[in-house]
Structure 1
Amino acid sequence: MPEYRDKLLNKKNSYTHFAHIYFERYTKLSKIIRNKWKDCEAKHVNKILNVKRNELCYLVGTVYMEMQNKPNILAELSRNNWEPAPILKEKYCSPTDEFWLDDDSGRIKIVGDRLKEEIIVSGIIMSVLGKENSQGEFEVSDICIAGLPKQPEQPEQIYPRIQMNIDRDDDKYVALISGLNIDTSGISETRLQIMMEYFTGELGCFHEQKNISSKIARIIIAGNSLATSKPVPDEKKQKKYGYDNSLYDAEPLNNLDNFLEKLCSLLPVHIMPGQNDPADSTLPQQPILSNLLPKVGTNPNFHSVTNPYWCKFDDVTFLGTSGQTIDDIYKYIEIEDRLIIAERTLHWRHMAPTAPDTLWCYPFKDVDPFIIDQMPHVYFIGNQKEFATKLVRGIDQQCTRIILLPSFAESGIVVFLNLNNLKCHTIYFPSTFF
């Protein structure tokens, strides 16, 4: 499984441009796509510059979308200081969007109704079948993408149990949580306390305690454990020069440390950084430093991990993100269903195609770590608007449970995944005591 820790971000390989990551993405995925169309009767043109007008052929390249609403760093740099900043829209897509296909030789504009039938965003590797018209545009009649990757061997007998929806006496659960959003207001404190009492077995009926809470093997927290930081509003403490560290409010981080200390006394906890957390915002986000959480940082049950995060428990493979990848793809398309978007990333074999175009990532040289080489058994995405789940099946008996995790602070929902059959259910924790 891919490893996203510091050794991947070797300073010796630090570059300031992103051509390498696009090249690695194209090199790896284009081979897969060309192999899928190896029996195509149309001619394969290996360089876009070699396309001949009115000749049926197919090309493989990297999609680039020209969008008037998409942030443009060059426009930002050229904007005068007195000009107002552009208003960022929830979505970049508009009727004027243009699709282009790139390879190492050049770029060509692709057009046609077939493009409207497919979910397409910047950065995906795609093959198009068609002809170049008199305007120099490539009219697309068919599209091919990499498709679902192979999956590691299924845990013993898991596929029959998924098919038959079987529960067992030795079931184990992984609790998936996202968006604790701990701050100084104490709004989510009651929810956290009720959830803690559930994990300790103090809450719930006998059936729940026997069949669920006592069988929780570990907990994964998928980002945004802290709420968005806000400056302390005290004009008297503003310094004319420099930074006044008395304006820093450490209470949210201390509250998180205390909460995790109690949680880790019960179960192993894996915590991923998110957009609001004290970690580098560039993907892949590195683990939250244990020094920031002194009470829990040395606990053997505490695991500070990366975002994205690959892991394996009882031979069940997990892939998870804290949500930034899906949030950014969502802006490119009109589709509102994020479950569909998550599934498409599996078919693209890439979890973050819009990086580095509109999603910050590290400028890797020899690897694109966001390529999905193997199909996970569980694919979870944190900090989404609502809970949703789907079981995706492939023609080679691949089987992946996709789970969208809502913010716990807003929804009170925790998702429990059964490792034996990939079934999942939610439990709601109220914000007030009954």
Structure 2
Amino acid sequence: MAAMEIDTEKNLQRKQSTYQSLDETFEIQNETYRGQQYSQIYFARLHMMRTLLYSLVTHWKPHVPVCTVLELEEGKECIIVGTLYKHMKLKPCILDEYSKERSALPLVKPHNFMHPDDHLVLEDESGRVKLGGSVLSPSVYVTGVVVALHGKETDAGDFMVLDVLEAGLAPQIEPQLKSREDKYVVFISGVNAGSSLSNPLQFQLLVDHITGHLGDEKGIAAEIVHVVIAGNSVEIPLGLLNGQNLASKDQSRLSEPVQELDILLTQIAAGVPVDIMPGSNDPANFSLPQQPLNRWLFPGSRAYNTFRSCTNPHCFELDGVRILGTSGQNIDDLKKYSEGKDELEFMERTLKWRHLAPTTPNTLGCYPFTDRDPFLIESCPHVYFVGNQDKYGTRILKGSEGQLVRLISIPKFCNTGMVVVLNLRNLECHTLSFGTQFSL
């Protein structure tokens, strides 16, 4: 079988691409946890973003003075830079959760914690002030975003916001489109091998398409140069993990989903480079940035140098095109604590705020970094993807300095049978659907 697969790959004459990993900023290597608090990551974020916003303020409103929260004077217009905090009436509290668990009544968890009484506060090292006015909508912003605000203090002690300045899209390198020929990247997420919704035959059809075993599809398969699996690849039966020693049959049930995934990944890695990112359901650390899945989970796939276990978030370059993405936790959290038309709008906001996961560490778990915030976006990507979303979506986001970003919302494969295909030549993308329904 192995020989036959190798011969098939030779016959395909598959195209190649140059690959460079940029995951170093998301790797936790020299960090040491010494009981530090999360305030330090907020200080690092504010310091970096304030320096940037100060440079933008000189072009935005050069004649308005900049001051701190402590220096505010009633009725005097000024600009303040700080971190937003949103007071939310419905935001879950651990004490409330405990009392509700002891309640006899069944509880319905809301999918969104927004309330009309929510309001925003801006804080810096000197203090905090409640924000007023209609310019800054609490439904759009979340805790952790750093902005510059133009306004004045009222007699009630609030800061009446007249205008807001966001960081905007980061500078973007010119895409080095080295080839005029079509080269495709396949994005998959939410395979959930081992779950009741997972269909192994459906995923096998996808694998056969990528490897060129579907007859007439070989021409297209030869143009696939990379595969990205964006999280939630397996579903472990958590009911077995009750703190007790597992029987041998239960141990095999725990490992079966990973073994099933490894068999399919081995087939892909035999012919095309594949990156696998951890997700919220995968056997990886919970907090962001998630570290690469242990390669020893994949005895078949790791035999190939084309198999790469990557971080979440994941950043890399293919033929000079910078691609950045997550397994979806950052966008899922924004959906809970703010409102938007669709996933793409939430994605746009993270790019304009220059922060991949602004709700960390407030409502989204992250490692307590001491001197840096790895989620700050210092270079604007050409492609920005988010996995494990309810539906497919894409559009081009244009920046004020000519930046162009292809936004891609990747649907869950186990629910939709759908993957996203990106053309590196022109950054256009489309979907492929795989079904296993038969009619007699």
TM-score, normalised via structure 1 length: 0.89
**Distance (Å, rounded) in 2 between the aligned partners of 1:374 and 1:2:** 13
Match of 1:192 in 2: 203
In terms of mean alpha carbon deviation, does 87-96 or 361-370 score higher? 87-96
Note the alpha carbon deviations across 1:129-164, whole angstroms, 9 max, x for none.
111112111111100010111012321489xxxxxx
Find the residue that maps to 2:135 and give its secondary structure. helix
Q: Does 1:64 align with 2:85?
A: yes
| Offset, 1:318 | 0.7
Aligned-residue offset at 1:58: 1.2
| Residue 213 (1) aligns with residue 221 (2) | yes
Distance across 2 between alignment mates of 1:433 and 1:197: 18
User: Does residue 397 of the first structure (1) align with residue 395 of the second (2)?
Assistant: no
Deviation by residue 1:173-196 (Cα, 9 ceiling, x = unmatched)? 111111111116584112112112
Partner of 1:235: none
Query: How far apart are residue 215 of structure 1 and its match?
Result: 0.3
Q: Which shows bigger deviation, 171-180 or 185-194?
A: 185-194
What are the ranges of 5 or more consecutive residues in structure 1 without an aligned counterpart?
Answer: 159-167, 233-237
Q: Check the 8 A contact 2:23/2:311 in 1, yes or no.
A: no
Offset of 1:254 from its aligned partner? 1.0
SS in 2 for 1:209: helix
Deviation string for 1:284-334 (max 9, x for gaps)? 000110112222223211100000001111111110100000010111222
Going from structure 1 to structure 2, the CA distance change for 1:373 and 1:2 (only over 3 Å counts) comes to: farther
Deviates more, 1:80-89 or 1:126-135: 80-89
Pick closer, same or farther for the CA change 1:404–1:47 going to 2, 3 Å.
same
- Structure 1 residue 83: deviation in Å? 5.0
The two structures, once aligned, show a CA RMSD in angstroms of 2.4
- Output the amino acid matched with 1:31: T
> Partners of 2:35 and 2:375 in 1: how far apart?
18
Contact kept, 8 Å, 2:177 with 2:424, in 1: the verdict is: no
Distance 2:31 2:53 in 1: 33
- How far is the alpha carbon of 1:395 from its aligned partner? 3.1
Decide whether aligned partners of structure 1 residues 185 and 124 sit closer, same or farther in structure 2, where only a CA change above 3 A counts.
Answer: closer
Q: Does 2:190 correspond to 1:179?
A: yes
Give the whole-Å Cα distance in 1 for the aligned partners of 2:75 and 2:279.
49
Cα drift, residue 197 of structure 1:
1.8
CA distance in 2, matches of 1:145, 1:351: 14
Q: Which moved more, 1:421-430 or 1:9-18?
A: 9-18
- Counterpart of 1:400 in 2: which secondary structure? strand
Q: Aligned partners of 1:394 and 1:187: how far apart in 2?
A: 39
* 3-state DSSP of counterpart to 2:261: helix
Task: Give percent identity, aligned residues only.
Answer: 39
Cα shift at 1:262: 1.3
In structure 2, do the counterparts of structure 1 residues 114 and 277 end up closer, same or farther at CA, with 3 Å as the change threshold? Answer: same
* Aligned CA distance change for structure 1 residues 184 and 148 (closer, same or farther; 3 Å): closer
Three-state SS of the structure 1 residue aligned to 2:287 is: coil
Q: Which residue of 2 aligns with 1:285?
A: 290
Aligned: 1:342 with 2:351? no
Aligned mate of 2:46, from 26, 44, 47: 26
Instruction: Find the aligned partners of 2:107 and 2:127 in 1 and give their Cα distance.
Output: 31
Equivalences for residues 249-398 of structure 1 within 5 A: 249=253, 250-398=255-403
Structure 1 residues 230 and 433, CA gap change in structure 2 (3 angstroms): farther
Gaps of 5+ in 2: 1-21
- Relative to structure 1, the CA distance from residue 228 to residue 386 in structure 2 (aligned partners, 3 Å threshold; closer, same or farther) is farther
1:68-117 per-residue CA deviation (whole Å, 9 max, x = no partner) reads 2112346557x597457975321111101010001011110001111139
The equivalences for 1:85-124 within 5 A come to 87-116=108-137, 119-124=140-145
Amino acid at match of 2:204: Q
SS of structure 2 residue aligned to 1:64 = strand
What residue identity is the alignment partner of 2:168? G
Report the CA distance between 1:429 and its aligned residue: 0.6
Q: What secondary structure is seen at the aligned counterpart in 2 of 1:257?
A: helix
* Counterpart residue type for residue 10 of structure 1: N
Map of 2:412 onto structure 1: 407
Task: Specify the SS of the correspondent of 2:352.
Answer: helix
CA distance in 1, matches of 2:35, 2:115: 33
Question: Which of residues 227, 230, 233 is equivalent to 1:222?
Answer: 230
Report the Cα distance in structure 1 between the residues aligned to 2:82 and 2:236, rounded to whole angstroms. 39
CA contact 1:282–1:360 (8 Å) conserved in 2? yes
What is the aligned residue count?
413
Say which of 53, 56, 80 aligns to 1:36: 56
Residue identity in the other structure for 2:276: I
Secondary structure of 2:208 counterpart: helix
1:424 alignment partner in structure 2: 429
Distance between the aligned counterparts of 1:5 and 1:355, measured in 2?
A: 14
What CA distance in whole angstroms lies between the structure 2 residues aligned with 1:427 and 1:57?
A: 52
